[in-house]
Amino acid sequence: MFKEVIKDAKWRIVVDEKIASIEKNDTWRLIRRPNRKKPIGVKWIYKEKKNAKEKVEKYKARLVVKGYS
């Protein structure tokens, strides 16, 4: 899904903003993976926030650990 969504400019902006927020808040950092340890999988969750008239008001993206949402 990421490959399809990221082609759309409005979603690309939302994802870029989320990544900038993660970096600014020092939420996580990349490190070398220790030997014999599995990497932690992540996935993007995308949502369109709509108003009462079903018009999209906001696009939201979250980066979560796989298995949680």
Dist CA 35 CA 57 (whole Å): 45
Whether the per-residue pLDDT at 60 is higher than 60: the answer is yes
Look at residue 59 in the predicted model and tell me its pLDDT. 92
Q: What dihedral do alpha carbons 55, 60, 61, 62 form, nearest 10°?
A: -130
Name the band, by pLDDT with cuts 50, 70 and 90, for residue 68: low
Q: Tens digits of per-residue pLDDT, 43-59?
A: 889 999 999 999 999 99
Name the residue among 69, 56, 59, 52 with its Cα closest to residue 14: 59
- Residue 31 identity (one-letter amino acid): I
